[in-house]
Amino acid sequence: MKITLFTINASYVHSSAALRCLTPPLIRAGFEVSAVERTLQDRRRDVLYALVSENADVYGFSAAIWNIRELSELGTELKLLTGKSIIIGGPEMTGADGETAAKYSFADCIIDGEGEITLPRVCRMFEAGVTPPKILRGEDASAVFLTAGHGYTESDAAEPKLIGYESSRGCPYRCRYCVSSLDRRVFAKPAEQVIAECDDLERIFANSDRQRTVKFLDRTFNFDPRRALEIWRRLAEGDRRLSYHFEVCAELLDDKTLDFLASVPEGRFRFEIGVQSTNPKTLEAVDRPTEMPKLTAALADLRRASGISVHADLIAGLPHEGYERFAESFDTVYPLCDVIQVGFLKLLPGTPLRTDAENGSFPCVFSPNPPYEVLSTPDLSYEELRRLHGVSDACERFGSFGRSGSGGFTRSLGYITSRIPSPFALFERLAQQGGEMRFSQPEAYRLLARVGSEFLDTDMHAEFLSYMRLDWLLSETAYCPDFLCPEQITDRSSLRRIFAKLEEIAPDAHRHSCEAHRFAFDRGHIHVIDRRNRKAYTLPDE
């Protein structure tokens, strides 16, 4: 019997760890297995055709908040066309009940929980002609998970995607907005096994022509600090092709760990740290105890002393945090990270905070449709949340800065935000001026320059534009716009002298792609920009 596993990823760069976890148990059970992964950007009729063309006996859908609407539409149409059996599972089926079964009536069976054991069992029922229950609670699959590999094969090497990988399941924390609060189990693969599996991923993707990232899907990777440090030490060794992304609790980073992390090669690790809020009353209300001084100190140490890119998350819409208080959280966290990510509270079915909302103890308005986002709270009006969505869009468009800056505004944002009292106010103004942020990169530079003039005096704005010019030269390929006040050196005799000095300090620089510039922020030097390799070299201005 043939089983086709299917999911829709949020974007092309993502891959589904769920499908890779479920494939080996089905193969061991004797089934023929195929997998179909598509994205939200794919046309539905093309995805439907791909599913029908599989001609499977059973289809297994993996559902999450970002794809359930599309999966439901496809499942309904697939059922009408083929009449084949459909099983649906995944995080969106957590706490499934009769209402869930009625809502997704195209599904012959819904699995609530882990599927490594339960999915093959349901498929055997279909094979034997037995009708399974409409809803099944997934059996504890910890033993299977702990002995399973990473699930990737050589066929994955051709796809330019994030490599989703689980080294543990469960979370020791009980945040009231998170589905992990519903299951108190935490189990993890031993450090040696994790290292061996990462080594095998290195082998599979060794010949990739682009940088790949292994994204650890663990809710809190360093819940066991000793295990985390052992894995980090090994992954930091040698000349690895892959980089590694971890969700980390900053409060668990002790001095010994921070000292080690300061030595990690730049670009090897990326940490995502869920701050969520700096308001003690808010954190208490969502059952997320936090030693805020320890957390902020660890963030500062990470950013100051290591080559690790630090992403910090905030959640808008939490209890007891209004617009001004959220801005305070933003301004506290912004200088301590390389990328700030503003998310919005989602009241997931079955979570304690969803129950609070339904019984009136957290009297808010939220959407009944996935992703169940909060629309207003006693502390945040709908209009204020809309404004915060604009701030979030501005952060996404402009806000990559520090070591990991990829948005083209690394140095200029670092300059202006260190000289104004509120980075939040800057992004708020960018949101007001930029609308939906659908504009070209030159237009984005113009907007940032214009908004910057509202926050800086004349001299500082001149330096700000100078930093913007450096950002442009190191991230773009087109000519530098005139409004960035270019001071490019074009005199041939000066260039011969400059490039002769460059040969002494950087013999490998690509001279034909180099430009020489003076900048208002550093009048004592000439900066040579290798635009091909996006490198800058500094020479004395004699």
Q: What is the CATH number of the domain that holds 54?
A: 3.40.50.2300
472 and 540 in a common domain: no
Residue 406 pLDDT class (50, 70, 90 cuts): very low
Residue indicated by tokens 């609530």? 112
Show the domain range for 527: 487-542
DSSP labels, 52-85: HHH--SEEEEE--TTTHHHHHHHHHHHHHHH--E
Range 7-34 average pLDDT: 93
Together in a domain, 358 and 238? yes
- Check pLDDT > 90 for residue 30: yes
Token pair for 78? 């697939």
Asked if the structure places residue 385 within a domain, the reply is no
With beta carbons less than 8 A apart as the criterion, state whether 285 and 320 touch.
Answer: yes
CA 94-381-279 angle, to 5 degrees, is 70
388 lies in some domain: no
Place of tokens 């890779």: 20
pLDDT at residue 303 tops 90: no
Please check whether residue 187 is in contact with residue 216, taking contact to mean a CB–CB distance below 8 angstroms.
no
The 10s digit of each residue's pLDDT in 104-118 is: 999 999 999 999 999
450 and 328 in one domain? Answer: no
The dihedral over CA atoms of 223, 264, 299, 214, expressed in degrees to the nearest 10, equals -60
The total of structural domains in the chain comes to 4
Do 231 and 371 belong together in one domain?
Answer: yes
- Report the first-to-last Cα separation within the chain, whole angstroms: 78
| Same-domain status, 255 and 191 | yes
Q: Which of 103-117, 389-403, 466-480 has the lowest mean pLDDT?
A: 389-403
- Residue 386 lies inside a defined structural domain of this protein: no
Q: What's the half-sphere exposure (Cβ side, CA atoms, 13 Å) at 251?
A: 13
Least confident among 300-309, 442-451, 458-467: 300-309
| Residue from 349, 396, 433 nearest 179 by CA | 349
Which pLDDT belongs to residue 199?
97
Is 150 contained in some domain? Answer: no
Same domain, 404 and 285: no
Is the residue at 56 inside a domain?
Answer: yes
Residue 461 inside a domain? The answer is: yes
Residue 19 within a domain = yes
Contact (CB, 8 A) for 444 and 432: no
One domain for residues 40 and 86:
yes
**Domain closes at, from 99, 114, 143:** 143
The pLDDT, as a whole number, for residue 400 is: 61
Give the pLDDT confidence of 491-520 residue by residue, as tens digits.
999 999 999 999 988 888 888 899 999 999
Weakest-pLDDT range from 107-111, 152-156, 385-389? 152-156
Residue 404: what pLDDT?
40
Beta pairing class for 163-165 and 135-137: unpaired
Helices (H), 250-381: 255-261, 280-285, 292-305, 323-333, 352-359
How many other C-beta atoms lie within 10 A of the C-beta of residue 129?
Answer: 6
Q: What is the mean pLDDT of residues 241-266?
A: 95
Residues 110 and 135: beta-carbon distance below 8 Å = yes
pLDDT grade for 405, boundaries at 50, 70 and 90: very low
